[in-house]
Amino acid sequence: MRAGAEVRVDLAAADPPGKLALVATGHAVALVPGVLARALCPDVTPVPLVDPRPGASTRSPLAATRIP
């Protein structure tokens, strides 16, 4: 547990479309590369993740979530 969050895994998908389908139905949150943000369906909202540490990676990962 870190930052007050506890992970519970009930469902899993091996491929990106399956993961995003779980997100779109409100059953999951997924980490996706920033380059896929434009390919997300309208029901999925990309949320930028920021690493506050100096010198952290310049990659742009996103958390994909469904916001009702």
Segments making up each domain of the chain, as ranges? 16-50+59-65
How sure is the predictor about 53, in pLDDT bands with cuts at 50, 70 and 90?
A: confident
Mean pLDDT of 1-25: 79
Distance spanning both ends of the chain, measured CA to CA? 26
pLDDT digits (tens, 9 = 90+) for 55-65: 766 666 666 66
- Structure-model confidence comparison of residues 35 and 66, the more confident one: 35
Show Cβ contacts of residue 45 under 8 Å, excluding neighbours closer than 6 positions: 64, 65, 66, 67
Instruction: Classify residue 23 by its DSSP letter.
Output: H
Tokens 């999951």 belong to which residue?
28
Q: Residue 1: what pLDDT?
A: 45
Q: What average pLDDT does range 39-53 have in this prediction?
A: 79
Tokens coding 19: 């993961």
Whole-model pTM: value is 0.63
User: Does position 24 have pLDDT exceeding 80, yes or no?
Assistant: yes
